[in-house]
Amino acid sequence: MQVQYGAVPNPQALGNAIGNAIVGQIQQYGAQFFTADPFAGVNFMLIDQKPDCVECICPCIGEKKNSYQISVSEQTGHLAQQQLGIIKEESECAQRFFCQCWRALDLLFINNQNQIMFKAQRIYKVPSVLCLPCERPEMVVSRDSEVIGYLKQPFMCCGRSECPLPILEEIDICDPSGNTRYFISGEFVQCGCITRICAIPRCTGPCQYIDYDIYNPMKQKVGRIRNIFNGCAQEYCSKADKFLVEFPPQCTSQDKCLILFAAITIDYDNFEYTFCNLP
């Protein structure tokens, strides 16, 4: 009796078939595997607000929805190395017109695959500049409907650093249980802040920067959010601002996400150039 055996498959054809199957799976599910942690290994991050032409031409129409480009950066913040995504604002027209920088809003972090990775929600509360102890502003940050932390603005007039001075902003960065992981403090006595209030161009030297230091619960300075002078055209003809974030050394990816949204909060509270802000 003669036994017939099936044809032995071509190894190259078999390898190509397996490779094509793997590529198909990566294309279908790749975002789940390769975008799970967009902040891994990132030490410096650049936040560059996109200017709005309508606001530049006719600022009296009120606020437009903000949009920010998020990129990996080097230490000086002058060069964006790799874009991680964008942050887009969702808010109501009436809130933007009447409440302006204090408006209720949703901020969506959208990666390069056009997927919503994180969402930050802020409801309208007592404006932080009124220094009232009740109904303090708060932002809830979540991923896939799961809360990863909170940004809280406590009631205080002077900072909690070792040399307490009048402050521009204080933000507590809290985990889902409400425990403070870091806090951010921006002191009023800075060259960049004073020249900005006096409407003096801050295009050279230390006047280019306004710093908001990041502290751990032991009041040790471990990082920084820096507002960078964005050029005369951007600074004086638009509301587009630029920030460089220096993350703490032991910062987790969730902490980095919260610090990122804290920097956006600082932009809304201090750099929107509306009647409710400093000029």
In tens digits, what is the pLDDT along the chain, a chain of 279 residues?
454 444 545 556 655 666 566 555 544 444 443 446 788 889 999 999 887 766 556 655 667 889 999 999 988 777 677 899 999 999 988 888 787 778 889 999 999 999 999 999 998 876 655 556 667 788 999 998 899 999 998 876 665 655 556 667 789 999 999 999 999 988 887 888 777 777 677 777 778 889 999 999 998 999 999 998 877 666 666 678 899 999 999 899 999 999 999 999 999 888 875 444 444
| pLDDT for 108 | 97
| pLDDT for 182 | 96
| pLDDT for 76 | 76
**Cα–Cα distance for residue pair 61/236, rounded to 1 Å:** 17
Q: Does residue 30 fall inside a structural domain?
A: no
Q: Does residue 24 fall inside a structural domain?
A: no
Q: Does residue 25 fall inside a structural domain?
A: no
**Cα–Cα distance for residue pair 263/176, rounded to 1 Å:** 19
| pLDDT for 279 | 40
Q: Does residue 22 fall inside a structural domain?
A: no
* CATH code of 92's domain: 3.20.90
Give the pTM. Answer: 0.79
Q: Does residue 19 fall inside a structural domain?
A: no
Residues of the domain holding 63: 37-276
| pLDDT for 134 | 67
Q: Does residue 137 fall inside a structural domain?
A: yes
Residues contacting 132, CB < 8 A, separation 6+: 126, 155
Q: Does residue 2 fall inside a structural domain?
A: no
* 3-state SS, residue 129: helix
What is the count of structural domains for the chain? 1
Q: Does residue 80 fall inside a structural domain?
A: yes
- Asked if residues 265 and 227 have their Cβ atoms less than 8 Å apart, the reply is no
| pLDDT for 188 | 80
| pLDDT for 32 | 41
| pLDDT for 96 | 80
CA angle 269–270–274, rounded 5-degree value = 85
